[in-house]
Each structure stands twice: as structure tokens, then as C-alpha cells.
Homo-oligomer: A and B are copies of this chain.
Amino acid sequence: MAAQVQALYDFAGEPGTTEMSITCGEVLTLLNTDIGEGWWEGKNAQGQTGLFPAAYVRKLSPEESAPTKVAPPAPRYDQAADEWGEQQFSAGDNNYQRAASHDDGWDDDWDDDTYSEIGPGAPQNKPSMSRQQQLTPLPGMPISDFNQQIDDNTSSFGSTVGTVRKNKFAPSSKISGESYLLATLNVEVPETEKVYIVQEGDGYVWAQITQPYNVTVASPKKESKFKGIKSFIAYQLTPSFNNIQVSRRYKHFDWLHERLQEKFTLIPIPPLPDKQISGRYDEQLIERRRVQLQEFVDWMCKHPVLSKSEVWQHFLTCTDEKRWKAGKRQAERDNLLGLNYCVSLVVPEKALLQSQVDHITEQCHTFIGSMDTSVKSVTNMCLAQTKRFQGPYKTDCQKVGEAIYNLGNALSLDEGTVISTSKLTSAIKMTGGAYIEIGRMYEDQPKYDWEPLGDKFHLYKGIVGSFPDVLANHKGAVQKRRECERLTAEHKMEVAQLNEVLRRTDVISYALLAEINHFKSERTDDLKATMQKFLRQQISFYKRIVDKLEVTLNQYDE
């Protein structure tokens, strides 16, 4: 079948010449590309043949040009702008789901099984706006009594301790991590599940991962169930340690994320894809989500604690429906949530200097506050730049191109022929074509620089955004410790119990210090690579503009 092209712009052929008028979106059969001077010959649906500027059309791939199918209109900024606008997403989840449910089944159908059916971040289902909660103040009080007090924010003992998220499946005894701190929890953790914190230089770090691995998130597939009535997107995950692919839907990620947040209250959990992602095509949207899931997965794999957690391993490896449900139930019944998880930690013997811990956490607090602002501003900037590149920058270039191209066209009229006999005229037309092409480069570019940069900073936004809760959870433990010291001074608490509280508070502080260091070393390597990659892409982009203009400039010589 002959190649087909689609008009990207209107072109008004000069009447009485061999030029042919074409209309944006029109599909033409390509007859001859050897005309020269930037002209091609084609035939329209009415059977008319004629010449049109090559720069005004794009070639269709064989599947696009299948004769039975009307080609979709070329993407133009004006349309894209509407899809981007806040009005579509400002109302949050509902609009998002509507926008997303076009065809990708991201979260518009649900399994009938029992685990979480909470959509991604639907506010009414979230336990609270913050991961912090007020915990019971009284030492030794049974954890099972805790639920009655959980909303009592006016408690006279206003410290915040050991925050976890509510878990509607978990028995009430799991809600607080306070039992760990107050030494009422004594569980023997198997050696394989123990996590070590070691000294490194002046600081403390998580012991290195003994068997590093990574996981690739492959381009998602559309799968179907109920004999094809329902379709949904599933992402294919392949861990390097077993090379066995598993298929996971967003809701599986979401369930995993909830478990992780419950369990690790001293470790920021990397975020899932942003609900604010939008794209002009569904495919682009799905791909952005894949990239952000890959960022999530990468961070998990590189984290010494998270990477070996049982629920994550289950998520990565389970391929059997029955085992999946069993593992799921087990994870939901996990007792070692929140501060209780600290029973798994093995820390240096040395007691920490509280003043030193205070200094580090205060500095971290200031740092995180400032990072939060700037990470958000980089994220917004990436979104804005993407929008500008694909919108006005592209359009502006194309307006430049069209103005110059039309100048060439006007000049060729004086030659009385469509095929310019003059070098100058054809060089001017080519210049116009080059700017139209540069416009397309602007449209295409964000996926190489602004979007990956934005995806990376989406990750940091999530992690940095979780840090205040992590710090508050630690601070709560420290306050509880002071309270216990006071109680002991007042002879209301045994010295032996206090010593155990002191030791356990140190474990919590060690965990925080290790996590602060982990974040620092991870981001140092990661940000360097990110910025280098970004700058290389930017450089390559502007170099390609230079190349294109230099080719054009050479047309004027000879």
C-alpha cells in the first residue's frame, strides 16, 4: 500500500498552479517525494493530486494509515492545554478517576477479594491527614485500652509518640508502637529478620544490603477478566534475584504502600505515582505512571530495611493466587507495626548522647523544611516547563516557521513556478521548515528532560514530605522518655523499667540517625546522576537546534 501522510497544518495552494490545498488532519496518499525544494506530491480523498510542503505533513505508520481507520487529528497545543488545565483535576480524586478511566482501567474496577479497596489517596478513606496521632499517656496502660483515647488530642499529656496508621484489619493491640517503648512488648525476632545499625565514621548507618538486587517495571499490559468484559492495566515486575515476572495492578501497589506506611513509621516510604500526572494521550499517562512506579521500586530495592521486608518480598515474588491471599492476610495481621518494629533492630551498645541526637534532629528539621519548599518548587517548575515546551514554545516556533515558509512561497510566485528556481527561495522555505521542525522538537523534548526530572522530584517530594512525621514520631518517643524519667524521679516508675525505656529510646534514635544518613547518601548519588542526565538532555536538545539551523544556513551558500 502506498505511504500515507497526514496534514499537520492548513495549507492554501496557489490557485492555477500545481499546488494543492490541504486541511489540518486530512490524510493523503503520498505519490512522490522527489519533487525537491521541500515539496511532496500526493493525492487526497477526492482523488485530486498536487504538491504541498513536506514540512506541513507527517508520515503515517502503516497501522495508522490502515484504510479502514480514520486517522486521529494531529495533537495540537490548543487541545492539549484544555486537558492539562486545573479545572480537570482540581476537584481531586473523582475527576482524576474520570479522566483516567478512559481506557486504562487504572482503578475503575475491583477484584471481589477482601483486601483494601481504598482507591489511590481518596481522602475520605484515609485514616487522617497526617500520620501522627496522639497516643495514650499513661505508662503501663494496656494497649487494648488505647482505642478509646485515640482521638483525644486534648489529652493533658500532649506528647506525640509512636505514630502508625489505622489498620481496619489489624487487631487493636497492634495500633500503637508504644508497647515497644514501654518495654511491654517482648518478641523474639528470628535472625533473618533482624536489621543491624552500625557505626560508620562519626555516624550510624543501616548495615549494607548483603544481596543487592533490582526490579524492573516493564511497560504495562492491558489485561482483561470476566471473559474480556473488564480490562485493566497491569505492570510487569521482574526482580533480578529470580527473574520471574509478576503482574501487579495499581491497587496492589496501593495495598503494599499502606502496609509499608503502617509498619515503618521511622522510615519515609517512597510515594506512588502522582494523581496529578496528566498527559495528552492515555499512553503517555500510563508511561509516566510506569516511570514513577519504577522510581518507587528503585528506592525500595536500595533501602536496607525496606528491601528485605516480608510484605515487599511477598509483593515481588508471589505468583500464586492462593499464596497471595495467605500472604496478604499475614501482612495485615503483622504485630510489629510502628515503633514495635524496633524489636527487629540490633544497634551499637553505646548509649547515645541526647544532646547530640537533639542537634541532629533539629538540623534535619530545618533542612527538611527548606527541602520541602524547594522540592515542591522544582516539581512544579518541571510541570510548568513541560507545559510550556509542548504549548507556547512549540506554537511560537511553528509560527516563526510558517511566517518564513510563507515568505518563501510568496517569493516563488515571482518565479511563476511552484518549484523554486531560485536558491534563495528554496533556502527560505527550508528555513521555515526548520523552525516548524524545531517546534516539534520542543513538543517532544519534555519526555527526555523535564518529565524525568519531575518524576525524580515527585519521589523526593514524597520522601521529604514524610520526614516531618518521622521526626515527630521520634520526638514523641523522646518526650515519653523524659516523662518516664520524671516518673522515676517521683518514684512512680521502677529504675529498671526506666533503663529499659532509655535503651529502647536509643534504639529508636539509632534508627532515625541511620535513616537520616541513608537519605543523605542515597540522594547525593541520585541527585548527581539526575542533574547530569537532565543537563545532558538539555545540551543535546539545544545542540540539535544548532545543527538544524546550521544545515539551513548552508542552504544559502553554494
Given the contacts A374-B410, A381-B399, A539 and B535 also touching, CB distance less than 8 Å: no
Tell me the interface secondary structure of chain A in the complex: helix
Whether the pair A546, B539 counts as a contact (CB closer than 8 A) is yes
Whether the pair A400, B424 counts as a contact (CB closer than 8 A) is no
Whether the pair A524, B367 counts as a contact (CB closer than 8 A) is no
Tell me the chain A residues, 415-433 only, with Cβ under 8 Å from chain B.
416, 422, 424, 427-428, 431
Closest to A537 in B: B549
| Number of copies of this kind of chain in the complex | 2
Instruction: Give Cα A370–Cα B406 distance, bound, in whole angstroms.
Output: 9
Whether the pair A406, B531 counts as a contact (CB closer than 8 A) is no
Count residues of A near B (Cβ-Cβ below 8 Å).
56
Instruction: Give Cα A535–Cα B431 distance, bound, in whole angstroms.
Output: 9
Tell me the chain A residues, 371-424 only, with Cβ under 8 Å from chain B.
371, 373-375, 377-378, 380-381, 384-385, 388, 392, 396, 399-400, 402-404, 406-407, 409-411, 413-414, 416, 422, 424
Whether the pair A414, B528 counts as a contact (CB closer than 8 A) is no
Whether the pair B428, A531 counts as a contact (CB closer than 8 A) is yes
Instruction: Give Cα A463–Cα B363 distance, bound, in whole angstroms.
Output: 69
Stretch of A130-138, A154-162, A550-558 contacting B (4+ beta carbons < 8 Å): A550-558
Select A407's contact among B378, B385, B404, beta carbons within 8 Å: B378
Given the contacts A392-B392, A535-B553, A381 and B410 also touching, CB distance less than 8 Å: no
Whether the pair A414, B520 counts as a contact (CB closer than 8 A) is yes
Chain B proximity mask over A119-135: 1 for CB below 8 Å, otherwise 0: 00000000000000000
Rank and list the top 3 A-B pairs by shortest CB-CB distance, nearest first.
A370-B410, A381-B403, A374-B410
Interface residues of chain A, those whose CB is within 8 Å of chain B, are 14, 363-364, 366-367, 370-371, 373-375, 377-378, 380-381, 384-385, 388, 392, 396, 399-400, 402-404, 406-407, 409-411, 413-414, 416, 422, 424, 427-428, 431, 520, 524, 527-528, 531-532, 535-536, 538-539, 542-543, 545-546, 549-550, 552-553, 556
